[in-house]
Amino acid sequence: MLNIPYPLPDELVCSVIARAQRRLGIHSPKFANGYLLRNRNFIVTPDLPSQLGLFSNQLEYQPITPTDLAYRHTLLPLYAPFIEEERRQKCLMWMERKCDGNVHFTVGCAASRLNKPEFLRYCPFCAKEQIDEHGEAYWLRIHQIPSIHVCIKHQSPLCSVNKRVQKIHRHAFQTLKIQKELSISKANCVHIEEQTRIERHVSELLILAPATSPSFNQWTNFYQSVLHEKGYGKGQYVCFDKVMEQVVSRWPINWLKKECLWPLNKQSSWLHSIIRKHRKSFSFLEHMVLLDAVYEGTWSMDSILKQVPSTEEISNSTHIYMSPLDDSVVHINKSKWLNLVKRYGTKLARSNGGGAIYTWLYRYHNKWLLKTNSHYQRPIQYENNRVDWRARDWHVVRAMYRILYDSEADLDSPRRSALWFIHQLEHSATVEKKLAKLPLTATFLERYAEDTTEYQIRRLTRTLSRYSPNKPPAWRLLRESGLSDERITAQAREFIECIL
């Protein structure tokens, strides 16, 4: 169909369709899609669009296959070399047909740590040049790359459209209209040098011809071989610390933080994972950061991707431990752990700054760790801070005084033992169990709880009061007080002798 313009160099597919819609002057996106592509439900996805088959069918005058469209006019080349071949094939199939978001999940960008731009972006200077050359401006792939925020050619910060990429009408394609004056100042952005380096390698990726992707094994072998060749190996191991030092010397920590590539030193960091046996794919940015550090800037994506599939497995590399195994590091970690276990015990040492050291020692010096730990095991005393025991103590002791005053005149009450006082309370079970946390209550009970003698004297007093002002004989006093010669205490006996 002649209404669809041919894609310009590095132009996004959605940009081509937007230009076609604008030329037709049709305002209804669905109607325009039905007219242009024979499908009203063509959906906008700027980075990894699907239904490319429909689009390529309309370019009869200068045929281009859906695969070529995917490689030259979408962001697929940014991901394709780093995912497994089976996945790459699936992505190509889904991009040709209809995919319902499968491509984003399959290339890993849905779960990626990279900061994906929320908006479509452009450089006003590039747009001006496009208008001069082609009569209209269009969206470039290179300006939609995560981690690149400036136009390297013009050293100008990229401008964003107002609408979020996801929020544009599902079927509408946005034409590029320059929103700012071109007199804007040149870029005053930080990390220009880093972005320039990334842009150089991304530009290479974007023009690569479709090719079979290396397998995870091939990536593993490649990095093993290169790291040893470049002097980062030690025996069959790779010295992680050296690699990390080199990465940090090439890429400032602030930039790594900004691009969500920091920290590096944790066992779970991407840098640890990428130089171990590959079990998942890594982003273009992670590969580029490591490759640039190892080759110190002298490398090209094209030659690396040719080299990876042909790298042979290095001997004894089936068990690859990437670890700082220098004696000094071992010594430092062991003494750090020893200090922690002496202070906190083995369990609490891990949650008091020793977690990473524990994991490291567990992995590399297991016997030493277990032996050391056996000497420093300590039971953990958990502190329950949910109850304010001080306030509870005041509350209980006040209640106990009330019970004491209410029962003081009652000579018939049972023995007012500590347990009797406690059982008069509302939460008797808690107080009984937690007496150690209630010092005032404990003091009260010690002072006011009746012992056996006091209780016997109270019962004798009660009987005497019934006979008052007379005095009953001793045997009657004892019997009516529920006492006997055998059970009466020495002090209670003294009390009887005094009053009779």
**From CA 20, how far away is CA 14, in angstroms rounded?**
10
For Zn ion, the closer of residues 121 and 197 by Cβ is: 121
> Which residues does 238 contact at the CB level (< 8 Å), separation at least 6?
224, 227, 228, 232, 275, 320, 322
- Strand ranges for 135-218 from DSSP E: 150-151, 156-157, 159-164
For Zn ion, the closer of residues 153 and 487 by Cβ is: 153
Stretch that binds Zn ion, among 148-156, 225-233, 270-278, 490-498 (CB under 5 A): 148-156
- Tokens representing residue 134 in the block: 């082609």
CA torsion 467→468→470→475, rounded to 10°? 40
**From CA 79, how far away is CA 214, in angstroms rounded?**
12
Please state the closest distance from residue 140 (CB atom) to Zn ion, in A: 9
Radius of gyration of the chain (CA): 41
Please state the closest distance from residue 212 (CB atom) to Zn ion, in A: 34
For Zn ion, the closer of residues 20 and 151 by Cβ is: 151
For Zn ion, the closer of residues 125 and 295 by Cβ is: 125
Residue 327: CB atoms within 10 A of its CB come to 7
**Which helix (H) or strand (E) segment is 238 a member of?**
strand 237-238
Asked if 394 touches Zn ion (CB under 5 A), the answer is: no
Whether residue 30 contacts residue 39, with contact meaning beta carbons closer than 8 Å, is answered with no
The count of residues interacting with Zn ion (CB under 5 A) is 6
Stretch that binds Zn ion, among 68-76, 85-93, 123-131, 386-394 (CB under 5 A): 123-131
Asked if 187 touches Zn ion (CB under 5 A), the answer is: no
Please state the closest distance from residue 19 (CB atom) to Zn ion, in A: 19
Give the chain's end-to-end CA distance (angstroms, integer): 129
Asked if 148 touches Zn ion (CB under 5 A), the answer is: no
Please state the closest distance from residue 150 (CB atom) to Zn ion, in A: 9
For Zn ion, the closer of residues 84 and 199 by Cβ is: 199
For Zn ion, the closer of residues 125 and 376 by Cβ is: 125
Burial of 201 (0-12, 13-18, 19+ CB in 10 A): buried
Asked if 153 touches Zn ion (CB under 5 A), the answer is: yes
Please state the closest distance from residue 261 (CB atom) to Zn ion, in A: 26
Q: Cα dist. 261→97, 194, 232, 351 in Å?
A: 34, 13, 21, 25
Residue among 123, 172, 243, 247 that touches Zn ion (CB under 5 A): 123
Asked if 154 touches Zn ion (CB under 5 A), the answer is: yes
Specify the amino acid at residue 179. Answer: Q
Asked if 216 touches Zn ion (CB under 5 A), the answer is: no
Asked if 126 touches Zn ion (CB under 5 A), the answer is: yes
For Zn ion, the closer of residues 158 and 293 by Cβ is: 158
Asked if 158 touches Zn ion (CB under 5 A), the answer is: no
Please state the closest distance from residue 126 (CB atom) to Zn ion, in A: 3
Stretch that binds Zn ion, among 46-54, 116-124, 233-241, 385-393 (CB under 5 A): 116-124
Residue among 125, 216, 364, 495 that touches Zn ion (CB under 5 A): 125
Asked if 151 touches Zn ion (CB under 5 A), the answer is: yes
Please state the closest distance from residue 156 (CB atom) to Zn ion, in A: 6
Please state the closest distance from residue 160 (CB atom) to Zn ion, in A: 14
CA angle 364–366–368, rounded 5-degree value: 110
Whether residue 301 contacts residue 208, with contact meaning beta carbons closer than 8 Å, is answered with yes
Q: Cα dist. 247→198, 219, 275 in Å?
A: 14, 18, 13
**From CA 142, how far away is CA 130, in angstroms rounded?**
14
Please state the closest distance from residue 152 (CB atom) to Zn ion, in A: 8
Whether residue 33 contacts residue 171, with contact meaning beta carbons closer than 8 Å, is answered with yes
Please state the closest distance from residue 79 (CB atom) to Zn ion, in A: 24
* Residues at the site binding Zn ion, with contacts judged by CB under 5 A: 123, 125-126, 151, 153-154
